[in-house]
Amino acid sequence: MGTSRTDSRRRRHFRVRKNVAGTAERPRMAVYRSNRYIYVQVIDDVAGHTVASASSQEKDLRSATLTEDTAAKVGKLLGDRAKEAGVTSVVFDRGGYKYHGKIKALAEAARESGLEF
């Protein structure tokens, strides 16, 4: 019996997390994608504190299906919230997903709204 897609993704994510950690100066931008929604958090791993977060489950985005356009809106929303919290630079943690499609759209929108990574 082989491993599932989820198990494989978790293994990839753990492998990356061994080397990627967020600090107060440069927090980690972590992405999680389900079939219906996409979630992103800016995390200071040293303090164990979430600095900013956004998801497609928020009121104005909840009715939209998960597309690259929706992911881009979430990325822009997170970029704006991170700037309000005083964060300008982050470490991108793609969560074991390919940097492609929705993940890429989210990251590019966050960059356009002023985050550096």
Contact 69, 105 (CB under 8 A): yes
Tokens read off for 114? 């002023």
Domains of the chain with CATH codes:
5-112 (3.30.420.100)
Q: Note the pTM of the prediction, 2 decimals.
A: 0.94
pLDDT in tens, 45-101: 999 999 999 999 999 999 999 999 999 999 999 999 999 999 999 999 999 999 999
Closest CA to 109 of 54, 37, 64, 59: 54
Q: To the nearest whole number, what is the mean pLDDT of the chain?
A: 96
| Distance between CA atoms of residues 21 and 42, nearest Å | 11
| Distance between CA atoms of residues 38 and 57, nearest Å | 8
Closest CA to 77 of 57, 48, 100: 57
